[in-house]
Structure 1
């Protein structure tokens, strides 16, 4: 879906989401006892930029955004990033990317839940709206499946915000992606009146 937005719309979404992404990075940092930075933020109204080049396969965590704005958030971690995150969350089960234990799955789902909640709380407070993330879902995809998945998802959204959450300690950088419907702009405009 393609929409025409003016420069003000783009700047408003960028400012709002930069704050939300910083909140998510801070929450992630606290969960894994590391300092994470938000990097490579791309905001677009078209197909996503390929931030997935290094993923041969990855864990994709999806949270649907509900309430006064609609959308989805995605946390994408390759095997190494998932293993590091799980270990930092003190889940000591042996890591097998092809068959995660219930504790490992739970750790990844909780990580996504906390990141999405931190970002959505920021958005809700800034726009004075009610929105929340639904229960996250976890799946494992190949590189081709990731590309196809996001191409399909982007066709149904107006705003695509892609970013990396970069860890200096571990040199990991999971992708954090948001897709929003046009109602986000209406909520921003309403909040600035």
Structure 2
């Protein structure tokens, strides 16, 4: 039986289109939880039956269930070392003014420039942004998976050494595996910008 498109997209992201997390409401979205961010995976969804292990929100912030760590405390401490302050800023006209997922699926490309500016603030580029991209987003064995990368922003490919174009959805008694995923995100450019530290800001404030 095929999974409805909206449900599948939500499995890949880890949230419903309104933002409510699958870990808290796996069957259908709950508008009261659209801004919910205070949740974990260790006790609520260790097997990934609600929110798949390889979903975007679990890869980019494993919270209390980083599979390589022994306890919730270990996982939280490890995840905290790699956390980023991040924000996505859309540009260009929306493909559909209502932003209704069902309407969006019916629209075709109109030639307009649109996309998302991904902005993150970190204190250590290598330990935070680059670590998350290389070791969690694109690593094919994250969380015990074999041939997956982040389904939304990961690089999906096959070569003679490995493949990363699968997406595994834990189900009972047998998991479902989708294959031949295309790349859903196309990078158009990027840059690192260095922001003055607290001491520098105090100096500028005192001597400006």
Which has more strand, going by share of residues? 1
Which has more helix, going by share of residues? 1
- Of structures 1 and 2, the one with the larger relative CO (CA 8 A, separation 6+) is 1
Provide TM-score, normalisation by structure 1: 0.25
Structure 1 or 2, whichever has the larger Rg, is 2
